[in-house]
Amino acid sequence: MTETWRQQMSLGVVFPMAYPDTPTAEDLLQAIEEVCLDEFFDVLEIKPADSATLSQIRAIADQAGVKLIIAGQPPLLGNKLSLNDPDEAGRQAAIANVKASIDAAYEVGAPLVAVLSGPDPGEAAREKELGLLADSLVECCRYAQSKAQDYVVWITLETFDHNIDKRCLVGPSALARKLAEQVRKQVENFGLTVDLSHLPLLDESPSECLEQVIDYLIHVHAGNCAMQVTSHEAYGDLHPRFGMAGTENDVPQLKEYLESLIYSGYFKSETPTGKPVLTFEVKPLPNESPQLVLAGTKRTFLRAWAEL
């Protein structure tokens, strides 16, 4: 490649995945500062938090020249909330949760809030719940518009596995495209997030996925998964480090993903983040070090980029 990766993208880290154990606010801020000191990364995805903590996080990121994105998936998953919940009270609780994430995004100057769909209800109810999901996303996008001042927060829906671990409605890339078409007819500040971690779980290649979603793609993740042996300690959607024995993704798969993103035009597209973002979502196992796992992730990326 004659161009450096910095000319094409900003690399980031999904912080709550990379540092799953930060029991106190002091631990959290210390770990965030540690990542922000690493000039390799220009973006940090964080969970919503209280205003005082968000203010401190923003101060650290501003000093380091790091952009922030709000990861709205963890609070939805942690509270077992579904944007396609057929129970109206449950759906409204999920919408309220996303609106809180939007408020957090404006507090820290983040351009994106990433969310996910709820569980897949099965074929009989799938079409109905896809409509409910679209309605929820439109309401959240309009809320973001109503709170805008000098910029508008965008909502991006990440596609997850359909039948292995999270078992989300969205799900397959063809269904993600159908959803995006419905939402974009009503609001502009919506797009999709694709994660290399989820493509093996969906039985989709990068090119098959991107062929479906590229028109709506505004954000991408890269990570790994284990799916061949159910007894594997990282089985399912646990985002183990690249190249771990018994897992799906390493340098060759990341290289293929990057190639597909390049040839699809993602890195030349207009995104709410300015320069397109590729964020690494990797999680150390209980006996592993966040610092070493991130160091290995950087080496995996550099090796894959060098082979392009």
Q: With pLDDT > 90 as the criterion, what percentage of the chain qualifies? A: 98
> Residue 210: which pLDDT band, with cuts at 50, 70 and 90?
very high
- Whether 207 has a pLDDT exceeding 60, the answer reads yes
DSSP annotation of 165 reads S
Question: In the chain, what are the domains?
Answer: 5-307 (3.20.20.150)
Instruction: Outline where DSSP puts E strands in the chain.
Output: 10-14, 43-46, 67-71, 112-115, 154-158, 190-195, 217-223, 277-281
- Whether 273 has a pLDDT exceeding 90, the answer reads yes
Whether the Cβ atoms of residue 81 and residue 93 lie closer than 8 Å to each other: yes
Summarised one tens digit per residue, pLDDT across range 123-152 is 999 999 999 999 999 999 999 999 998 999
| Rounded CA separation 178/220 (Å) | 19
Mean pLDDT of 153-167: 97
Cα–Cα distances in Å, from 11 out to 55, 63, 214, 254? 23, 18, 19, 14
CA 206 to chain centre: 16
* pLDDT in the model for residue 14: 98
* pLDDT in the model for residue 45: 98
Whether the Cβ atoms of residue 117 and residue 82 lie closer than 8 Å to each other: yes
Q: How many CB atoms lie within 10 A of CB 111?
A: 22
Summarised one tens digit per residue, pLDDT across range 22-66 is 999 999 999 999 999 999 999 999 999 999 999 999 999 999 999
Reading the block at residue 70, the tokens are 């709000």
Summarised one tens digit per residue, pLDDT across range 218-240 is 999 999 999 999 999 999 999 99
Reading the block at residue 119, the tokens are 């569980």
- Whether 97 has a pLDDT exceeding 80, the answer reads yes
Whether the Cβ atoms of residue 99 and residue 105 lie closer than 8 Å to each other: no
* pLDDT in the model for residue 69: 98
DSSP annotation of 240 reads P
> Residue 3: which pLDDT band, with cuts at 50, 70 and 90?
low
> Residue 4: which pLDDT band, with cuts at 50, 70 and 90?
confident
Q: How many CB atoms lie within 10 A of CB 177?
A: 21
Mean pLDDT of 90-119: 98
Reading the block at residue 238, the tokens are 């646990």
Cα–Cα distances in Å, from 29 out to 16, 23, 49, 290? 12, 11, 12, 15
* pLDDT in the model for residue 2: 52
